[in-house]
Amino acid sequence: MRLLQKTNRTYFLISGTVFIIAGVVFYFVISSFFKDQLNEKLFHDIKNITRSIKRDGTLPNYYPFIDIREVPAQSERSFRIIDTLIFNEFEKREILFRQISLIHVINGKEYFIAARDTLIEEDDLLEVIAIVTSSVFIFLLVSLYFINRKLSLKIWQPFYNTLDELKEFSYDRTGFKLSSNSQLYEFTELNKTLEKLTQKVISDYQSLKRFTEDASHEIQTPLAVIQSKLETLMQYPRLKKEQAELINSAYVYTLRISKLTKTLLLLTKIANDQFPEKSTINLSELLDEKIRMFEDHILEKSLTLNKEIKPGYILETNFFMTESMIINLIGNAVKHNITGGMVNIKLDKNYLEISNSGEPLSVSASKLFDRFYKTDKSSDSPGLGLAIVREICRLNKWEINYIYEDNLHKVVLNF
């Protein structure tokens, strides 16, 4: 959810609650005010009636608003304010009246005097207040929504500019500087902090890049010397069997170290997106080409190869990374297969599926793409093949999944 949407939603919720509370309070205040004003009017009517009787002795009677009658002496001199329903002949229904009544002695006689007037019905009053309050609320919210939206977009524009520039940020881009300016202190400080952070990221990246390249170069050079010396020693004519075995073992391990450093360097370069060049790749032809690379291994293990490759499938990506990914996937399917097993390769529309026969994993499948993870601990493989595949998929925003079903290990890529 966008910040502006969240702000508006919260504002509408709070405003709606406030307007409902204000409407309820307004209803009780107006209702109380009307009743007080009506009471004052009725008291004033009773005073006028009393003066009229004292002056000329006539009893004005205007039912149902005025009701006057002589009552027996010593009647209870009660004063009452009540709300009562009186039938209206004209409207043919009962109408609510406010009534003030009392017993008053005038010219030695006792009179019952009642003054009445119609009350605003609560339903009508509530309906009017609800309509007025809702209309004002809707008008105010609509007006404030557009005003707030326009102001917010203008105020937050520097932030969006900064966000767009950060999306274009690259590790190998030196001298990165945000061009968006703002008069707001918070956005200015944000840009300054982001510039420092990006410069630190670039500096750390360049340092790591130099370190990995230098380390790989420096390791490969002495390894090559060691391998050369070991090869010379293995050709020594007076070498004993035990000595030859030790030298051969050391030579094998130097080869493994050399392969490991090259693979780690490749993984680091892929993770740091050091292969940005993209080209048009015919994935169908590339698959056929790499399958032919493994034909000898497939024959050696008596594997059955099943291919369903849609011709002419094109990808826009880096050729080296795609080639490395295909080699690792097919290599794993062949290497970790059982003798006499099968390898299935299917390319159709937007997905590639490579599967091989074999026993189920003894550990969680989530570890399969981890670095240095090996299903066969005795294998001389460094366990980085699928880690490389995962990094390539991450950079290309491809989805990769592992499934085990029907005694087949399946790796599925969705492009």
Maximum Cα–Cα distance for the chain, whole Å?
156
Domain positions in the chain = 3-125, 185-271, 279-414
Tens digits of residue pLDDT in 297-350:
888 888 888 988 888 888 888 888 888 889 888 988 888 888 889 999 999 878
Mean pLDDT of 34-47: 84
From the candidate CATH numbers 2.60.120.10, 3.30.930.10, 3.30.565.10, 3.40.50.300, the one assigned to the domain spanning 279-414: 3.30.565.10
Q: Where are the beta strands (DSSP E) in 10-119?
A: 66-70, 79-88, 93-106, 109-118
Q: What is the pLDDT of residues 215-236, one digit of tens each?
A: 666 777 777 788 788 788 788 7
99-103, 197-201, 305-309, 379-383: which range is least confident on average?
Answer: 379-383
Query: Number of helices (H) and strands (E), helices first, in the chain?
Result: 8, 11
The answer on pLDDT for 181 being more than 80 is no
- Positions of E strands within 107-162: 109-118
pTM here is 0.48
Mean pLDDT (the chain) is: 79
Please give the share of the chain, as a percent, with pLDDT higher than 70: 83
Cα–Cα distances in angstroms (integers) from residue 189 to residues 159, 185, 196, in the given order: 11, 6, 11
What pLDDT digit, counting tens, does each position of 78-122 carry? 778 888 888 777 767 787 888 888 887 887 788 888 888 887 665
Residue 413 CB burial class (10 angstroms; 0-12, 13-18, ≥19) = buried
Confidence of residue 378 (pLDDT cuts 50, 70, 90): very low
**Pairwise CA distance, residues 271 & 177, whole Å:** 24
pLDDT recorded at residue 41: 85
